[in-house]
Amino acid sequence: MKVFVTGASGHIGSAVVPELLDHGHTVVGLARSDASAAALQAAGAEVHRGDLNDLDGLRAAAAAADGVIHLAYDHAAMMRGAMGEALALDRAVIAAFGDALADSGKPFVGTSGTAMLAVGGVTGRAGTEDDVFDDVGHRVDNENAAANLADRGIRASVVRLPPTVHSDLDKHGFVPLLIGIAREKGVSGYIGDGANRWPAGHTLDAARVYRLALESAPARARLHPVGDEGVPFKAIAEAIGRGVGVPAAPVAPEELGFLGFFAALDSPASNARTRELLGWEPEHPGLLEDLAAGHYFVEAETPAAS
């Protein structure tokens, strides 16, 4: 299959691209910079130059492919607090892919997050792939727009990434940001008693879910590449504190910047339906084991945050 991948040189994309290539697919990756283009070419992928704002270019690349994996997101806008801007662009990109793939039966794999389960009102239990919500806002509406491309004759599915997708490929996700904050503040913070739970998954396990979704996921499927159903946030903060050499302690949400909202969520997530649909099992280390391995705490590779 010839697969067009957005976000192909990013954290998840850098694992998805070799996963696809190793299983006989051809990859065309979206690249907005010379460095990204060079990385994709070095990996063995073809390059489509452009960015998420070039909707005509995205339509053309999707129309020329046998399937699309959409990983890219305007994280810079999200981190500066312009969540609405990031969501609007993502929604426009999803619609553009719908135009290009309509009535083709081709696969489209979009990206959402398990954090939306808590936003949607799931409490007291692990959220499942069958939990679907309407008119909640945030990324929920965009997730529904992606899954509902099935109405246009597209085999559309959505991968809900946990807030922590971890590995030595993760340089700019929530864990590196929390490490940067701990270094700056001198404390590894959690909200309240820290008993709220975050699901987590290894990057390589997530990459396999994207590939399997492309190949075989039924239309409208929601998928959870989750290895840890729910790790208490206090345990995450303590592991970061040990790695940085600072204490873990309760902090006000604003001390964690835009992450304060996410750090307070209790959003465990099940992977049972994903395992059933795809024949997938997580194979790589869990979050706390990965934090104990030490690679996250090499300062030259860790971005600062506030």
Catalogue all structural domains in the chain, each as residue range(s) with its CATH number. Answer: 2-164+202-223 (3.40.50.720), 167-200+228-267+285-301 (no CATH)
DSSP 127: B
For residues 139 and 100, is the Cβ–Cβ distance under 8 A?
no
Confidence of residue 77 (pLDDT cuts 50, 70, 90): low
For residues 120 and 189, is the Cβ–Cβ distance under 8 A?
no
Compute the distance between CA of residue 297 and CA of residue 245 in angstroms, rounded to an integer.
10
The beta-strand segments (E) located in 107-257 are 107-113, 155-161, 164-166, 188-190, 197-202, 222-223, 228-232, 248-250
Confidence of residue 74 (pLDDT cuts 50, 70, 90): confident
Q: Which of 122, 85, 81, 73 is nearest to 265 (CA)?
A: 122
Q: What is the DSSP string of 85-126?
A: HHHHHHHHHHHHHHHHHTTS--EEEEEEETHHHHHTT--SS-
pTM: 0.94
Element (H, E) at 31: strand 26-31
Res. 212: pLDDT tops 50:
yes
> Number of helices and strands (H, E) in the chain?
13, 12
Compute the distance between CA of residue 235 and CA of residue 289 in angstroms, rounded to an integer.
11
Question: Residue 223 corresponds to which tokens in the numbers above?
Answer: 């998928």
Cross-strand pairs, 27: 3
Cross-strand pairs, 69: 5, 109
Q: Which of 287, 285, 278 is nearest to 107 (CA)?
A: 278
Question: Residue 253 corresponds to which tokens in the numbers above?
Answer: 């949400």
Q: Please return the burial class of 57, using the count of CB atoms within 10 Å of its CB with bins 0-12, 13-18 and 19+.
A: middle
Span 101-158, pLDDT tens digits: 999 999 999 999 999 898 888 888 999 999 999 877 678 899 999 999 999 999 999 9
Look-up: residue for tokens 């553009």?
96
Confidence of residue 82 (pLDDT cuts 50, 70, 90): low
DSSP 80: T
Provide mean pLDDT across the span 69-73. 94
Residue type, 243: G
Span 226-275, pLDDT tens digits: 999 999 999 999 999 999 999 999 999 999 998 999 999 999 999 999 99
Question: Residue 28 corresponds to which tokens in the numbers above?
Answer: 């065309």
